Structure formats: C-alpha cells, structure tokens
Structure 1
C-alpha cells in the first residue's frame, strides 16, 4: 500500500464517521501505552501545528458561530496535550538519566535552544508564560465567555420577537425567519459551550504547573536515588528536560488560549474577518495616525531617547495618515439625491400638454434628505428591498397585487422625517434616525435602556432610539430592536392594510377576474355582467377589505355572489352573504384551525334595542342615545382587554343585521375588537361565552 492509498483510506474513514472516535481512543491510549521518543517528536510537532491552525481559523472567521465546533476542539486539543504530558513525563523519568535526547529532540531543542541551556532562565521564562496564559488571557477569556453566554441567553426572547416582527411585516420570508432562528439558537449554544470550554483551558494551565513540579521532584529523586547521579547533574539534566517539556506544552496552550480569547471577544454582527475589521476600524481615520505620528515625533526629538526608532515610526505613521487621507479624497462622497428637474435648466420651453399633468401616485413615500441613503442602494440602503418584501407579503395576505410604492425626496420635510402618501394625501408620517436603532417596548421589559425616548410611529408603543452597540443589551432587557428601514417598512405595511379598500379599484378587480377566468371561466362569465355589474363586485370586495377580510378566496366570493344575485343587488347585503361563506376562513385567522372561539355577547334586550335602532338596513346608522353608546363602548373595551390579556383575540358575536353598523361604530375607538355575526361561525366550531353585555354596561 502506497502513501496515496493510505491517505485515501484515512479520508474515507473520516467520512464514515470512524476517524474522530478512533482518534479519541488513541488519545486515551497514550495515557497508558509508552511512546518512543520519535513518536513524541511527531506528536509535539503536530500539537504546535494544530494550535496554529486553530488560531488562524479564529482570526479569519467572519463570525464566531462560523467556528461553532470550537468548544469541542478545545476539549480534544486539551486532552491531546495532557496525554502528551503524561507520555513525556514517563519518558523523562525513565530515560532522563541517559541525556537530553533520551526524551526526544523536540524537548531537547526547547530545553537547549529556547532557554539557552540555563535552567534558571528557563524557570523565569516558564513562569512568565504561565502568568500570561493563566492570569491574563485564560482568566479574561473565561470572564468574557461567561458574560457573553449570559447576555446571549437573556437576549434570545428579544431577538425572537424581532424576527417575528420582521416576518409579520413581510420583511423576510418564512425560510429566512427559520434560518435566523437557527442562527440565534446556534449562537446561544456556542456561547454556552464556550463558557464551559474556557474552564478546560484554565485547567490545562493549572495542570502544566503541577506537571512541572512533579517532573522536577520525581526526576531529582530518581536520578539521585536510582541512578547514582550527583545532585548537580540531576538538577541540570532533569530541570532542562522538564522545562523543555513544559515549554513545548505551554506554547500550544498559549496559542489556544489566545484563539479562545479572540473568538469570544469578536462582535457577532460583524461579517468580516479580523484583519478587515482592524483595517476598517483602526486605520480608517487618518487623524488618529496623524496625531500619533506627531506625538511619537516629539518624543524622538528629546535628547537621550532612541531617536532613530521614534522618528522612524513617526515617519511611518505620518506617511500612512497621508495615504489614507489621499485615498479618501480620491473617492468623492455620494451627493445627496435631488430632483434633476430642479437642477437642470430646460433649453427651450415647450408647449404645455396633457403629458405635463402628472397623475397622482397611488402609494408614495417621501423622505427627508438625511434618509436618502436608506433608499440609495449605492450606499447599501436596505429600504427598497424591505418595501418589496412588504408588498409581496401584504399582496399574498390581502389577495390582490398592491401597487408599487414610489419613493422620492422632499426638501420641505425635516431631515429625518418621512411621509407615506396615499392618492396624494398623507396617510402616515414619522421620524427615524438611520445611524440608530429603535428599541420598542412590547409591554413588559426588565429595565430601562439609555437613549432618546419616542413612540413607535406604526403602533404608538413606547420606544427608545439607541446606539447599535446597545442592541444586545436592549434585547436582553426584553425590547424588540429594529433598524430604521424596518420601522419605515412596517409603517408602510400597516398603512397598506388599513387602506386596502382604497387600493382596490376597477382595474385591479378586472385583473383578478381575468386571472380566475383562466381556471373558472363559466363562473366569471355567468356572474358579470349578466347577474351583477362590475361596480357591485368592486364594492363588495372593498367592503371585505375595509373589514380586514382577505379576498384570496375569490372563487368562493363569486360563487356566493352568483347564488345571491337573483334576490339581492345591494352591495352591503351581498357583503353579509359573502362574509357568512368566508366564516371558516375569518375565524381561522383569529384563533387558528382548531382553537376555541371565546366571544363576548350582547344581552337579548340590548340586542333587540339595537336591531330596532338599525331599522333593518345595513347602511343605516344606529340611532341610540349617546349615554348608551358610551357605556357600551367602555364595557366592550374592558372585556376586550381581559380577553387579550389571556392571549386571545377579542370577538363580539352579534346578529347579522347589526354587525356592519357596530363594526363602523367601533372601527377607530376599538380597533382590536373583531365583530362577527352568528351566521359567520361554522357549526363545528367550539364557542365559549366569556362576557355578556347588557344595557347597563
């Protein structure tokens, strides 16, 4: 068998899952099976090379979780190093009296070359290495890992809520949400494992000190007592061998400790390796290098100082600052995007035509000049992609294609303000800060976060503008943290849903019918225009959207209209029939496919009074006295809050004849109250009455 075949067999064994178990068993065998000096040299060299590989991987990893196997690597390398210590101790104590090479050339080289054959110098060097490794690096890395694990676990609920918020706003897909949840779980597992794995590194440093004293005392006793060596010879031989063995183990241990410290101090959100982060964050500002060059240059001019060294580094820093400044000047800043029509002078005034009359955008977004980078993809703006995601998700939920959102700058707005336009009229506005993030209080947090207090522009929740560096802390306290693009996109999503009825017109309805006609041509042709005009169908669909009912199931809607058109032509009455047909879908969106429907009902006498007040017409207003309306509102608000505190949707169940009037009456004052008719509840749905409202409130 040649060398290539041997490598292929080893590679195949790793693929079959046999490599790692065999390697671990070999490590444990080294504890009891004596190793010749030649194998000790091979394993010590491999240990140093492996430690360097681990260190390089941590330096080039863009995120800590990219090296999620690192805690296991720490355990295996620590076990390997301790097994080598035991094997080398056995060889030193058994063969050390024969000379330095008796324990292998690696130990002899470290004992003779690194410490110059002087065991006093060796003791000092070894002590310094132990202090650096044990007291500084290992202790600090362990503390950072412990704190990171605690904050990562504490921030998991906030991160999960942020993912849910992005998913609900249509900013990410279900697959992206699952991927981000998996990353959060992996990150939590990683830092939790690192908290424990750092104890392996700390214990390894302690074991190195103990093994050193065991080798020294055991070597003296064996050399003098068993091999009749003089005290000075035994001291020299066994001290050199012991220190060589200690150094050849401590150097890989120091490398691994350094790798541990590097990976636990990395920022999870940065997707760059360490060299790129150093270049971007330390050497991006020429002022820092320039000031340093000036201070070092002044020190170099002081008499008695090493002038050449100081002035050389001052020159290097100055040249570096100049080159960075020159490079920044060569890259022109991105100018603020302004309307080209304002900056250009027309060559010749043309005759006024209908082309000069601009149509009103159905949906628009106007931004202040400081928000322009959010929509400029050349500046890594994310808002355009977020808006596309919002349109995609809302279109799928509502059942029709939401028109594009036209984005333009508006110099009349304050720099950080934006305005959402619907048919040329403002439908929502707010203020965001691109260089900050919004920490939203979902209702229960475990402390306050430092920042600028504000209100979430979409839902009016208490919120705080914070620095991006405080994101982890805010999430650990229970806040939902989102960036400025997400804030604007979520607001656009809510405006679209609130005004969906105004976004659906004749053209959109006709396109829906044309699409359905491909699969159900008879249904569409029989209904329109023979039984109902297009205007009535549009009005019914708008009524459904106004009441937050999706029109995705267009086939059921048209079938219901076809069946009812022979007797009913009124859009409001037709809407009642369609809602009854869509009842299963409506309730499933509220409580899920199998959840129990908890409802609030009206006292029969109150319901009869409201029926009389409506005069039997869905378009009529409820002619009730203001005092009764106020008591009814307050009672429904109180009962709704009780139901919502239990995590359930608040539902008021009433007679079909008054459902539409009550829905309009409480549309804005009780937006979270869902008002359903008896006819909309499927027969197989389990119902429980949680409250009954009477005339007295």
Structure 2
C-alpha cells in the first residue's frame, strides 16, 4: 500500500518540483544531479520504446514526453540563471563544454549546431510527419474497425467481452496516435527553445562578463561560450534521445516482438541477400585507391554470419511442426481412454461425403464460420445454447450428400453437388443440371453449375449456394429437435445465468420446489411446442408459484405458457392481426367432459370417428387460411389445449393450439375465420 501511494504521488510532486526549479535558484551540486537524472531518464525512455511489443504497450509515452520536455526546459532555465549570475553552472556543464570545444570555440559551435540540425530537421521533423499521418489514418480506419468488430460479434465469432476489449483497443489506438501527433510538437518546440536559450547565454554572458565583471572580450567570449555550449549539449543530448524514441514509437508497424528481435529476424530471413551484400563489400576492395582492410573485415563478417544462419523453415512446415509438438501423445488404439473417446456420441453432428469436404476448407468455403454464427442465432431465437457441431467426413455417405445427426441418429439428409448452386423456381428447363429438392420447405429445384448463377437468376429463379442450403437445413433441424438438444447440464448453466441476476427467483424454485430434471422437462415441452425459452425469469416465476400447488408436468407447462402468453400470441400475429379458428361451444363442452387423467397427462375419451372429424376439419380450415397467406391458430380453453394439441399431432397435423388466456393477453386484433364443430357422417 505504501509503495502504491509513493508511485501515485511521484508524478504530481515531480511536476510541482519542475515548476519550482524555474523560479527558485539551485546550487550547482543539485543541478549536476538533475542533469545526470535527465540524461539517464531520456536513455531509459528510448530503450523502452525499442523493447515494447507494440506502441500501445507504452501508451503513457505522450504524457511522459511532455513531462520530460518540461523538466529539460526547467534545467535550461536554472543553468542560464547560474551562468549569467555566477559564471558557473556546475561540473557537468563545464565538462561537456570543455570536451566538445576542446580548446577551439568554432569547432564547439559547429558540433552544437549539427546536433540541433539533426534533431530538428531529420529526427523531429520525420517523427512529426509520421505521427500526423498515423493519427489521420487511424482515425479514418476507426469506423471500419468498429464495423468489423460488430460483424464478428453478430456472427458469433467473438463474445461480448472480446468485443468490448477490441473496441477499447481501437479507441486506445486512436487516442494514442492523436496524442503522439500533439506530443511531437513538444519535441520540435523544445529544440527551438534550446537554440534561443543558447544564444541568450552567449550574448548575455558576454555582455555581463565585459560590462559587469571587467573581463577582457576574448576571455569573456571563451568562458561563456564554453558554458553556453555545455548547457546546450546537456539539454540537446536528452532531447535527441527523446526525438529518437518518438520516431521509434510512431514508426513501429504491426510486429509482435521487440524491435531488436524483429530487426534481427527479418534482416536475417534471407541468406541470399546477406551473401550478396558481403560479396559486394569484398568487391569494393579491388577498386584502386579504396582502403581494403575495412571492406574486407565487413564483407567477411557478413558472409560468416550468413553461413552460420539456419535456413528458414516454410510457414506450412513450421505450422505442422508446432502442431505436432503441441499435440498430446495418443494412447494405444485399444486403450480404455481411446475406446471411450470413440464410443462418445456427439449431440449434434454434420457428416459430409468425401467430395463435399471442400465446404469446410477456409480458403474455399465459409461453412464452419456459418455454423458458428448459427449458434448465436439459435440462442437469440430459441433461448438455448446450441451444442458445438462436429463436422466430419463420412465414407459411408453417397457422393454429394450430407447428413445431420442428433445423438448419432440421422435427423435430416440432403444433397449439395460440388461446383453447383440450387436454383428454385420455374423456367429452369433450358439450364443444365440435375433435379433437386430444397430440404426445409420441400420446394422443387435444380442443381445447376455455379458459373450459370446469373443466368438462373435472370430466368426468375431463386439461387442458393451449397453452404446456405446446408445451414438452412441445419437450422430447421435444430428448431425441430430443440428439446432433444437441451440437456441437463444446459439447464444447469441457464439456471446459473438467471441466478446471477435474479437470485431470489432461482432460490424459490430449485432445489426446494422443483429439481433440475423437472425444470428440464417443462423447458423441453415448451420447445416442442415452438415456444422460445429466452424469458427464463418469467418462466421460473410462474413455475415457482404453480409448483406450490401441483407438480404435474402439464400444469407446469400451462402455467409457463400463461406467463408467456403475449409473446406466444405475437409469434402468430401478422400486421397487428391474429387469425383464429374456434371450437363450436357444444363441441368444446363435450370435449371438456370427456377429459380423463392418466400417467402421461390428460386425454380426451372420445370415439375414433369424432377424433378424426375434428382433426380433418381443423386441418381443412388451416390449409384454406394458409392459401390466403394467413397463419391461423386454434383457440380453446386452457384445460383442453394440451389434450387437443396431442390429438392434432397424433393426426400428423401441425395446427398451433393456443388457450383463450394466451390470446387474451395479446394486443392484436382477433379475427375468427372458422369454427370446428366435429360433425361426421353417422353422428347422432
């Protein structure tokens, strides 16, 4: 805790100290210490910029650049005060000035000016331009990057947490390059300020030495020039290091390693280039007049380095070697672990014939990406987490065919000939191809060559690629068999999810009132009837209330449906209108009186001819309405809904049955289009 507080206060206290340095005079010993600190800190910043993996790993650099620049200017001001007041600015400045001047004032001034020009014209100017362009390009690319993240999120390739992390990285990158664009201006301004301060020291020191201290003009020029150049050097060297660090940061590309490792790896990735460079250096030795030893040493060194380098491994071989190294050692074929693995039955499997394997090749097909996206779509539509789809080839399948299996059993099969697309519609007689059937709706079509895609569309047909056919079929199989895919572990995971946001709802329901198995049966029954289970909170609340009275499954299902009534009715509402088929009141009363309980749920004890008449009449009214573009439902009392639905399903009629309570909760306009009276020939 103490170290954390010290780190938290270090920068604020340091900035306040820098401001005080500009106002309060400092002793020469303290100035020497701070100059040494300034040079060392600039060197540390430059080395850190070389070793970071990516620019954002040093995101504090723009702010650090401002603080370092302010610190350096404060040192310049403090040194100028000592030079003009005492004619002495400490041993560090004197040593730098003496070393560079070396007894020759002109040489010292030239060296100082060269350093300033290198920093301002070459390093700082280049870094400023790169930062400006990088900031503009980064900001321009932000919308595209955000759209790419949203597309991956919608496709199910990433989850919400990964999307948030990537959005934060995009925002941080834009802010970093924007800050670097402004930070580079600090470096440029610092270089200009250093030149001005040096000129002030030269002119002011000469005037003070001659006018106030009575020094000879030559002595004053030599003394104050030495101090001015020394002061300029101790400020320009750290400034040059920070300019280099700025250039290194903004010119880093999309490499994942530190700069030293990246440079060594990339320069040494081609032995031929090194051999040519070494040979060229040796060839320069034969040019008359050139010294041979330097070129001989350099050329020989490069050739030796090229010879010692290992030949680069192709990416494919490197990837295969890495996969082989990471792959766990396989147990013997007859070991219990291997046999248990082979015995395992996958909840959901997509088997492809050998000639359809190209669909799962990332370079030629996107089937696997669509399968991953389908999991998110099913979660949003049904409220269940679709199990991972195991995609594999099956030599037993006929060519050009596929099979969708649930728990090892075929739930759907179809065809998708290679190199073709499915054209659905009329007027396809003039196109070559083989007859086909759309697997979900059973529409007739034709598998035509993919290159005739546009010709088929011009003929008025709907054209679907092979991957879309398979994904549409897979989605329909999942919808139809959603209850089989909802396992006990899935129910536990869903319950834990609800518990995190609504703990009281879950605690009242399970395990005190209902077990996970009983909840699973209710959810499976809802899915069987096409009712999404996304609103688990409302479902659990209804179950907890009903279970205190009865744990009969049919009663629990009806309680859950009643809670979801408006949402259920909304599934069959079109343009604010709900089309309804009703039962004749007399027939409905007779059916209510015929209800009998059983171990598998209530059933209607009516004769077979009456049951067949009810099923046929309900189917006839439904088909008539569907031909008019309507989606009708059969309405009845809540007690009668489930037995009547079972009767219609036994007759293979997929007529949707809703109770009056479910319909009454809807805000749609109710329109009755027919009445089922159950009359049949020979009825009394």
User: Normalized against structure 1, the TM-score is what?
Assistant: 0.60
Does the C-alpha gap of structure 1 residues 512 and 38 become closer, same or farther in structure 2, counting only changes over 3 Å? Answer: closer
Matched, 1:108 2:100: no
Matching of residue 28 in structure 1 with residue 6 in structure 2: no
Find the partner of 1:274 among 235, 245, 259. 259
Alignment of 1:537-616 (within 5 A): 541=527, 544=530, 582=564, 600-601=575-576
Give, in angstroms, the shift of residue 407 of structure 1: 4.5
Corresponding residue to 1:288 among 270, 273, 281: 273
The structure having more radius of gyration, on CA atoms, is 2
For the aligned residues, what is the CA RMSD?
5.7
Kindly state the Cα deviation for residue 386 of structure 1 after the two structures are TM-superposed: 11
Q: Tell me what 1:14 maps to.
A: 6
- Which residue number in structure 2 is paired with residue 305 of structure 1? 290
CA distance in 2, matches of 1:82, 1:587: 74
Match of 1:250 in 2: 236
Once the two structures are superposed, the pairs formed by residues 147-166 of structure 1 within 5 Å of their partners are 147-166=133-152
CA distance in 1, matches of 2:296, 2:663: 86
SS at the partner of 2:249? helix
**Comparing 579-588 and 303-312, the one that deviates more:** 579-588
**Correspondence 1:402 to 2:386:** yes
The residue that corresponds to 1:442 in the other structure is none
Structure 2: segments with no counterpart, 5+ residues: 325-332, 334-341, 406-412, 421-465, 496-508, 582-615, 636-657, 670-684
> Structure 1: how far apart are the matches of 2:81 and 2:492?
86
C-alpha offsets along residues 281-339 of structure 1, whole Å, 9 cap, x if unaligned?
3322323323323333333343333333223322332333333344649995556999x
1:28, distance to aligned residue in structure 2 (A): 0.9
2:256 aligns to what SS in structure 1?
coil
Q: Which of the residues 44, 47, 51 maps onto 1:53?
A: 44
Q: Is residue 155–residue 370 contact of structure 2 (8 Å, CA) maintained in 1? A: no
Distance 1:495 1:188, change over 3 A: farther
Residue pairs, 1:222-621, within 5 angstroms: 222-267=208-253, 269-326=254-311, 328=313, 333=318, 362-363=349-350, 368=358, 371=361, 398-400=382-384, 402-408=386-392, 422-423=404-405, 425=414, 497=475, 499-501=477-479, 504=482, 506=484, 519=511, 541=527, 544=530, 582=564, 600-601=575-576, 617=619, 620-621=622-623
180, 193, 198: which one pairs with 2:179? Answer: 193
1:638 is matched with: none
Which of 189, 196, 199 aligns to 1:213? It is 199
Post-superposition offset of 1:678: 12
Equivalent-residue separation in structure 2 for 1:263 and 1:490 (angstroms): 46
Judge conservation of contact 2:565–2:666 (CA < 8 Å) in 1: no
Alpha-carbon distance, 1:157 to partner: 2.6
Structure 1 SS opposite 2:390: strand
C-alpha separation between the residues in 2 aligned to 1:304 and 1:419? Answer: 78
Query: What CA distance in whole angstroms lies between the structure 2 residues aligned with 1:497 and 1:60?
Result: 49
Q: Report 1 or 2 for greater relative contact order, CA contacts < 8 Å, sequence distance ≥ 6.
A: 1
Q: How far 1:577 sits from its partner (Å)?
A: 11
Contact 2:31 2:79 in 1 (8 A): yes
SS in structure 2 of the partner of residue 363 of structure 1: strand
Deviations 1:428-478 (A, max 9, x none): 9999xxxxxxxxxxxxxxxxxxxxxxxxxxxxxxxxxxxxxxxxxxxxxxx
**Distance change >3 Å, CA 176–CA 506, structure 1 → 2:** closer
Gaps of 5+ in 1: 1-7, 97-101, 339-345, 347-354, 376-382, 412-417, 432-487, 529-533, 569-574, 591-597, 633-653, 659-675, 690-697
Which residue pairs with 2:426 in the alignment? none
When the two structures are superposed, what TM-score results if normalisation uses the length of structure 2? 0.61
**Distance (whole Å) between structure 1 residues aligned to residue 272 and residue 486 of structure 2:** 58
Task: Determine the C-alpha separation between the residues in 1 that align with 2:285 and 2:195.
Answer: 42
